[in-house]
Amino acid sequence: MKGALFLLIAVFFWALNFHLGKTMMEYASPNVTAFWRYFFGVATLFILTFSSFPAWSKIKANWQGIFLVGFVGLFGFIYFFFQGLKYTSKMNGALIISLNPATTLLLVFFFHGQKPDKKQAVGIFLAFIGVVYLVCKGDFNTLRNTAFNKGDILFLVANLLFALQNIWIKKYMKDLGNLNFTTLTNFCCLLGFLPLLFLENNLSIDNFPFEFWSSGIVMGVFGTALAYYSWNYGIAKLGAARGAVFLNAMPLFVALFALVFGAELLRYHMVSSVLIILGLLLVQVKSKSAQVADQSLP
């Protein structure tokens, strides 16, 4: 139950990032926005880990996991996510990212041979239908007019990288502990965006208003530092297969934040909410064999 709560906290703040990120990108490019988000996030994490930061020898001994999660998984996911948005619609992107729980299950089966039980499969299906219903605004007929392009391929790559990250977190986090591992992997992500800044035409920060910086600080502290700490903790507790399905709550939280910012509550919001919540609950009800299998995963 505690692991599920931490995953919901992470998804809650990631959903808030959609609105704060939109504010920041009114004044800066996606790469600049992402850099400052992770700058404030990493700064927060380094402050929290200052007194317990691991020795260089321990970091060096765990470099592979830090690199895979931080650069390949985290930076790779965010980079391909933003690149995909250049060529395809938010609807296409949301639909593809909502496949992440199923992708994670397939990778867990491929790498570890763990098959999902029936309740997990039904739960993931219900949550996925809930996401699709929400994205389609209650009209499945809109899917007929959905065209796919190279942006969707980029989203598929982002989806795959995040699924791999979910598996790597549980495998590599143990030796360093959650807080130190989260700090180091987010630092890798920040380093990934650093060279991309030199491709920008204007790096001056003088023109950024208070709204940009306040959004960046909130995204950094809550939508990055706290969110990734919570997500890593939840994945370590519940496993990649059970934990990934909580991503399907993302569109629901995004919609709820939209209501806070003045949007209207409609029937499809309620229907999709019920489907997503039912799906999440079903995935958490595990058979004894599934519990034993999760405990045996590295």
Q: Is the confidence at residue 295, as pLDDT, over 50? A: no
pLDDT score of 286: 57
The C-alpha atoms of residue 222 and residue 41 are separated, in whole angstroms, by 8
The reported pLDDT for the residue numbered 70 is 95
- Are 109 and 169 in contact, with CB atoms under 8 Å apart? no
Residue-wise pLDDT for 212-239, tens only, equals 999 999 999 999 999 999 999 999 988 8
CB contact set of 199 (below 8 Å; sequence gap of 6+): 31
CA 85 to chain centre: 16
pLDDT per position as a tens digit, 26-51: 898 888 999 999 999 999 999 999 88
pLDDT of residue 244: 82
Task: State the pLDDT at residue 240.
Answer: 83
Tally Cβ neighbours within 10 Å of residue 239.
Answer: 26
**pLDDT given for residue 186 in this prediction:** 96
Q: Indicate the pTM of the whole model.
A: 0.81
Domain boundaries, the chain: 2-296
Q: Would you call 199 exposed, middle or buried from its count of C-beta atoms within 10 A (0-12, 13-18, 19+)?
A: exposed
Alpha carbon of residue 3 to chain centroid? 16
Neighbour tally for 214: CB within 10 Å? 13
pLDDT at site 85: 76
CA-nearest of 280, 221, 255, 186 to 18 is: 255
